[in-house]
Amino acid sequence: MTPQKSLRYPIGIQTFSKIIEEGYAYIDKTGYIKPLLEHGQYIFFSRPRRFGKSLLLSTLKAYFEGRRELFKGLSLDSMNVEWEASPVFHFDFTSENYSLEDGLERRLNRILMRLEEKYGSNSKLSTPSERLNYLIESAYRQTGRKVVILMDEYDKPLLDIENNPTLFEKNQRILKSLYGNLKSMDSMIRYSFITGVARFSKVSIFSDLNNLDDITLEDTFSDICGWTEEELLETFRPGIEALAQKRKENFDTTLKVIRDYYDGYMFTPEGSRLYNPFSVLRALKAKSIDPYWFETGSPTFLIRRVMKRGTYPPDMNGQKCTREQLTAVGMNDSNPAPLMFQTGYLTIDSYDGERYKLRFPNHEVEIGFYKYLLPQYAPKTEDPDSIFSIFNFQDDLYEGRPEDFMKRLATLLKDLPGEDHRESTYRAVTYLVATLCGTKSIAEHHSYKGRSDIEVFTRGYIYLFEFKYNKSVQEAMQQIYSRDYAGRYEMDPREIYLIAANFSEKKEERELQYRIEKLER
């Protein structure tokens, strides 16, 4: 076992050589390189951000450069592979402001200029695709070796400007021309590997590169990024022990918390459950469980799609998609589920032979996504000093004050824009607020006589909600009793509150009407 004092966490380090040479902790994924080489010449691979794609490309780069000394003691070192160096063209699209009109051109120019310093340039050529063609020919001619093309986060110049159709179209044309050249230079290319978050359809980026092999949903490569629990324990057990000591828990209790927060990703039905490497590293180094993945960026483009679709938040678990939907995303697709899968907000739950059923992978993602979603309905909940802050709602629920909770909720809903006064919006806000309070919240909980709308659980209380639309609170309360929603909790010692609510579409009555009863037992 590695002594705890020597464990170095490679947070933010995506360079394979730096990790190996400077003694950072490393989970060996090099055994996947040989199968990747045997799988095909042009590979596309999609995984969420902060999931290890850049490190994978850096590892491939070190291999193709023939740096065998870096792989000493690792899986690839004992495999029968060719170690002769090739020219490597590494296109890293991660670091640029693509909202600028010339952001993509500037990034490409910097990459191509570095290559031109090594392999020469032709002043008569101006477009990125022409310059790339010349560089491939020049590198092949000078070295006598075919060129390797590695492209990291190819789609960032598109995802960052999804809400700017004009610039999106422009960047699309540039990328299409760039990738189209790869096929025409086939005789001089040894290998090409392209990574991204989403594979866009209906934008023809890869139409000319029709021999591109998408391995995103291939079982063979399901675990190539992300960590299995076995890998986590083998390398980072000392870090988990230190975290358990800080939390004053035993090892198994802390491991379960880590699992609930950061595990649960599945990229093929037969693959392993995987941990998010970025979040686990941050948690172990800081000795604190927090939503680190969400601190790196807001999923604004996803929020826009979810709001446009009007998906009820609990229904995000259980979304179903075909394989074709999961491996290609259109800019105008109304269903946000495929893009949520590709970007890591949903993952595979099961597969019935025709469609994939999706779910939130873990607590970090579900709660983090809801935190971004709620302010789109109710902006005042973002202010921690507001009477509508989640902390105040949380106190109401945990201290058994349903009257205060409902009065606060009803007042908050009055502030919604006129077009948002719909039953779906009211139910969504109620569910999001209850969930973000840290409670266990269940929507549409089935019982032997029907299904309740929302059930909320705290340490000392159970709250059963039934909503009606253009009816009455009396009818809603009658349904709670007639369908015996509380029956399943007859032996539960917690206090139970029944909450009936009605929403009206009439402008003069556009407010939440409610009635609360404490269940007498």
CA distances from 50 to 421, 474, 501, 505 (A): 38, 50, 42, 44
Cβ pair 476, 467 in contact under 8 A = yes
206 against 476, higher pLDDT: 476
- Fill in the DSSP letter of residue 519: P
CA distances from 334 to 183, 230, 242, 310, 369 (A): 32, 39, 46, 10, 19
Helix (H, G, I), strand (E, B) or coil at 7: coil
Helix (H, G, I), strand (E, B) or coil at 464: strand
Specify the domain boundaries for CATH 3.40.50 within the chain: 28-221
- Could you report the per-residue pLDDT of 63-77, keeping only the tens digit for each? 999 999 999 999 999
Share of the chain above pLDDT 70, in %: 93
**Average pLDDT in the 460-484 region?**
94
User: CA 465 to CA 444: how far, in whole Å?
Assistant: 10
What's the pLDDT score for residue 293? 87
What's the pLDDT score for residue 421? 60
- Could you report the per-residue pLDDT of 131-160, keeping only the tens digit for each? 999 999 999 999 999 999 999 999 899 888
What's the pLDDT score for residue 507? 53
* Full-model pTM: 0.89
What's the pLDDT score for residue 162? 80
User: CA 16 to CA 497: how far, in whole Å?
Assistant: 56
The CATH code of domain 28-221 reads 3.40.50
What's the pLDDT score for residue 208? 67
Cβ pair 220, 35 in contact under 8 A = yes
What's the pLDDT score for residue 419? 59
Residues 6+ apart with CB under 8 A from 254: 240, 243, 244, 247
Q: What is the DSSP string of 424-441?
A: HHHHHHHHHHHHHTT-EE
- Could you report the per-residue pLDDT of 148-201, keeping only the tens digit for each? 999 999 989 988 888 898 999 999 899 988 888 788 898 999 999 999 887 766
Residues 6+ apart with CB under 8 A from 498: 464, 466, 477, 480, 481, 485, 486, 516, 517, 518, 519
The CATH code of domain 378-518 reads 3.40.1350
- Could you report the per-residue pLDDT of 86-137, keeping only the tens digit for each? 999 999 998 889 999 999 999 999 999 999 999 999 989 989 999 999 999 9
- Could you report the per-residue pLDDT of 482-513, keeping only the tens digit for each? 999 999 999 999 999 999 999 876 655 567 89
Specify the domain boundaries for CATH 3.40.1350 within the chain: 378-518
C-alpha angle 65-71-76 in degrees, rounded to nearest 5: 95
Instruction: Kindly provide the residue ranges of all beta strands, DSSP E only, lying in 266-425, ordered along the sequence.
Output: 320-321, 347-351, 356-359
